[in-house]
Amino acid sequence: MTSTITADGAGTWHLGDLTVNRLGLGAMRLTGSAAFDLGEPSDRERSLQVLRRAVELGVDHLDTAAFYFSSLRSANELICSALAPYPDDLVIATKVGPGRDASGAWLPPARPDQLRGQVEENLRQLGRDHLDLVYFRRMPAVPSISEHVGALAELRDAGLIRHIGISGVDLGHLDEALSVAPVVSVQNRYGIGSGSDAREVLDACRARGIAFVPFFAVAGQGAERGRSAGREDTEVLDIAAAHGASPAQVRIAWTLQQGAHVLAIPGTGDPTHVDENVAASALRLTAEEMDRLSAG
């Protein structure tokens, strides 16, 4: 399933006062073949083509982070080089909390008083004077997020941040964050095969009018283009064949059909896959197909 379908095929949603197409782009894979890999860097021109092609096709929501880097490549630097001066309607979301040193090793999760430095690092790399949306990405070592969200609220009041999101959270964290500041988006791992606990947060976001942005919705437990074995894969492959689509397109369509508040941010380092991913915004699965994919 390929065409010149644009990213508005699945409609739009709001991130506070910002409206975005529900099909966006995740930037992690722009830097290399594997997440957080400091080995072979990506081809720079190829990564720039991914970003420019995405915007040409109407993608107006990019998801990135300063800790998305590999040898010689930084996702934020690639975004700035490819797209600055930025289109007025382009929304760039980034994340703070985790951090990596120059060797790629993970640092201890940032304290609330360290978030300003991480926000300023993203601002410098992206060449912007404010960030549209900043997620506090909770790590398991951080049980409570109220102080971190409070620190982001102070940066919002200072004009460095426009909107606040949270990531890697459960229902308790969501309620905790909302008691401190408005939250416009939640980014959690979610995809075909996710359990009911993962869906609880998706449903809570729907009830509150908050965007839900799954990560690894296409990759699942395996490679970017889908897993290679198991009952779920058989269902995905059968449905993909019925639609003349790829397995990745079926997973993207399934994600978008989880609710009008759900945004998809499939990542790729291949310009040809940008067209494929965007075309999935117009793929409509039947109720029976949705049930088959959600079973188990």
Looking at residue 189, the DSSP 8-state letter turns out to be: B
Q: Is the pLDDT of residue 274 over 80?
A: yes
Q: Is residue 68 annotated as part of the catalytic site, yes or no? A: yes
Position 36 pLDDT exceeds 70: no
Higher local confidence (pLDDT), 143 or 39 = 143
Q: Where are the domains of the chain?
A: 7-294
What distance in Å separates the CA atoms of residue 249 and residue 273, rounded to the nearest whole number?
A: 10
Per-residue pLDDT reduced to its tens digit, 173-193: 999 999 999 999 999 999 998
Q: What is the largest CA-CA distance in the chain?
A: 53
Mean pLDDT (the chain, rounded): 92
Q: Sign (positive/negative) of CA torsion 136, 139, 141, 144?
A: positive
Nearest alpha carbon to residue 73 among 28, 118, 107: 28
| Alpha-carbon gap, residue 36 to 29, rounded angstroms | 9
pLDDT bucket at 66, cuts 50 / 70 / 90: very high
| Selected residue with higher pLDDT from 33 and 87 | 87
Q: Residues 184-203: what's their mean pLDDT?
A: 93
DSSP 217: T
Q: Are 213 and 224 within 8 A, CB to CB?
A: no
Residue range 145-170: mean pLDDT, rounded: 98
State the pLDDT at residue 296.
Answer: 52
- For residue 141, pLDDT over 50 is answered with yes
Q: How many CA atoms lie within 13 A of 262 on its CB side?
A: 23
* pLDDT-based confidence at residue 37 (cuts at 50, 70, 90): low
pLDDT in tens, 7-28: 999 999 999 999 999 999 999 9
**Helix, strand, or coil (residue 239):** helix
**Predicted confidence band at 221 (pLDDT cuts at 50, 70, 90)?**
low
Q: List the structure tokens of 280.
A: 């999935």
Alpha-carbon distance 6 to 11, whole Å?
A: 10
What percent of the chain has a predicted confidence (pLDDT) above 90? 84
Question: Binning pLDDT at 50, 70 and 90, where does residue 228 land?
Answer: very low
Q: What is the pLDDT of residue 229?
A: 41
Specify the DSSP element, H or E, that contains 155: helix 146-157
In angstroms, rounded to a whole number, what is the distance separating the alpha carbons of residues 119 and 94?
Answer: 9
Q: Determine the pLDDT at residue 4.
A: 79
Q: Are 110 and 99 in contact (CB under 8 A)?
A: yes
Residue 227 pLDDT exceeds 60: no
Tens of pLDDT, residues 79-94: 999 999 999 999 999 9
Beta bridge partners of 20: 13
pLDDT attached to residue 15: 98
Q: Residue 195's pLDDT is what? A: 84
pLDDT band for position 3 (cuts 50, 70, 90):
low
CB distance 16 to 3 below 8 Å: no
- Over pLDDT 70: what percentage of the chain? 92
What are the pLDDT digits (tens) for 118-133? 999 999 999 999 999 9
Give the integer Cα–Cα distance in Å for 45 and 2. Answer: 23
**7-294 carries CATH number 3.50.30.60:** no
Residues in the chain: 296
User: Per-residue pLDDT tens for 144-154?
Assistant: 999 999 999 99
Burial of 197: CB neighbours in 10 Å, binned 0-12, 13-18, 19+: exposed
Please check the confidence at residue 35 and state whether its pLDDT lies above 70: no
Marked catalytic residue, from 68, 86, 135, 190: 68
Give CA–CA dist 152/183, Å, rounded: 11
**Least confident residue range of 152-166, 228-242, 276-290:** 228-242
